[in-house]
Amino acid sequence: MKQFVKPHRSMESCKLWVCMTIFLVIADIVMTEKRIPTTLDGPFEPVTRRFDPSLRRGSDDLPMSHPRLKKNVSSNFPEQVALAISSPTSMWVSWVTGDAQIGSNVTPLDPSIVASEVWYGKESGKYSSKGRGVSNVYSQLYPFEGLLNYTSGIIHHVKLNDLEPGTKYYYKCGDSSIPAMSEEHVFETSAVPGPNNYPRRIAVIGDLGLTWNSTTTVDHLTQNDPSMILMVGDLTYANQYRTTGGKGVPCFSCAFPDAPIRETFQPRWDGWGRYMEPLISQVPMMVIEGNHEIEPQVYGIIFKSYLTRFAVPAEESGSKSNFYYSFNAGGVHFIMLGAYVDYNSTGSQYAWLKQDLRSIDRSMTPWLVAAWHPPWYNSYASHYQEFECMRLEMEALLYQYNVDVVFTGHVHAYERMNRVYNYTLDPCGPVFITVGDGGNIEKVDVEHADDTGKCPSDGDNIPEFGGVCHLNFSSGPAKGNFCWNKQPEWSAFRESSFGHGILEVLNSTYCVVDLA
């Protein structure tokens, strides 16, 4: 399924010209219609593609012994190599060295024993420049008898500066004094902002995990040859395990109702880093946290693995937190928001967001794309209205600054909305797209809130962070009810399967979002 989008210019022009144009392409539509419809023809009648009950809703996790998860390098040799965009002229390179430990008593490694070094240049095998960075370790500790503690290998982050935009670079990372340098990898910097410069192809994926279905998704994503990956949270699902490992489960609280804390088997993070390395050592992955990254431990510490393992351009974008940041990729400005930290209008994230939106030059970045983990608009029974509080705090600001597209995950299915603002069809609202169907162990969601007997109670779907702002509706098909009595008019298309999305920005007028 594809859609083509035309970006906003200003609120005034949006209201005058009915703003963005979307082309919706679905196989059966393409076969029967010569002209692809646009939002000038819309909004579209809601469509549901039901899950085939003869298919499995999920699959098991890959075992740690699987070749794609096993460690196959010596202790101080780099592994889990990953890239992240800093700016058109800088790139983050991250990797891990040393051996993680898990047990009752663990002793953190000393990060200073191994250097953080990157050799790079514009010709294969010829490295004209060297970069140095920082390293750290983290621990996941539990004050409960029988639970095992964990301490990571040494996690390295190096920012390469003074790069040329839109240029291919070859690099190795590691410590040349040992010597222990990685094999050669390659990346390409993003283009400078401009109305005619765009990333070639952007993969969008959420709620990935490490199942056999995840592998199908990642392999297909790799075949699509993206130039950047937008990861909208819930990466490893390491918290579907006891600390002792064993077999992961689709529902932790169901399988382990007496667990004293939501445990996590941290070696799954290391396995995930190895699993993803062939792709994200060549293609930058821009990540935002999901609820499965919370991972509570001793002293109320949360998100330790997420915060330590990933480099993001927080400082570069004026943010003081790795939970929210922004960056440019050519003529697209991306805003990554945190749903599991303070999002209230009186908080620091909101203040940062307001300043970031004010600073955008839409003549240079015509496209404005936002991403966070839990959807605001969602007609599935799972997570229904879970983050209404966040929507009520932030939606008006994003609407004011004409955000074009919003990507979220959390719900393990696909759903694309008609343009909507405050539950009302609005030609100036963003296109909200849920793509939380990466393939994780919790299985796909197939029940809709408007299905008979499937409407959650207003006491269900309590978020891990923030308040509860569940609404009864005052207009439309849901007037006087908590759930709609049919697929809402703002839900254009929904279906349950595993996959990912591809965003292609063609020019300052159109982009393509393709469900793969």
What residues are annotated to the active site?
383
C-beta of residue 64 within 8 angstroms of C-beta of residue 271: yes
- Which ranges of 245-360 would DSSP assign to H, the alpha helix? 252-255, 267-280, 304-309, 348-359
Contacts of 453 (CB under 8 A, 6+ apart): none
**Cβ-count burial of 103 within 10 angstroms (0-12 exposed, 13-18 middle, 19+ buried)?**
exposed
Residue 53, H or E segment: none
* 406: phi then psi, degrees, rounded to nearest 5: -125, 130
| Coil vs helix vs strand at 196 | coil
* 398: phi then psi, degrees, rounded to nearest 5: -65, -35
* Selection from 473, 325, 296 nearest residue 388 by Cα: 473
What number of residues does the chain have?
A: 516
- Which ranges of 106-243 would DSSP assign to H, the alpha helix? 212-223
* Selection from 1, 45, 49, 54 nearest residue 23 by Cα: 1
* Cα–Cα distance, 284 to 197 (Å, whole number): 18
C-beta of residue 365 within 8 angstroms of C-beta of residue 333: yes
* 30: phi then psi, degrees, rounded to nearest 5: -60, -35
What residues are paired with 373 via a beta bridge?
A: none
Contacts of 301 (CB under 8 A, 6+ apart): none
Take residue 252 and report the two structure tokens written for it. Answer: 């932790």
What residues are paired with 417 via a beta bridge?
A: 491
State the residue for tokens 């945190």.
Answer: 338
* Cα–Cα distance, 268 to 281 (Å, whole number): 19
- ∠ CA 69-73-75, nearest 5°, is 110
Helix/strand/coil percentages in the chain, nearest 5: 20, 25, 55
* Cα–Cα distance, 3 to 36 (Å, whole number): 10
Q: How many CB atoms lie within 10 A of CB 374?
A: 28
What residues are paired with 415 via a beta bridge?
A: 434, 494
Residue 146, H or E segment: none
* R_g (Cα) of the chain, nearest Å: 22
Contacts of 387 (CB under 8 A, 6+ apart): 339, 374, 375, 376, 463, 466
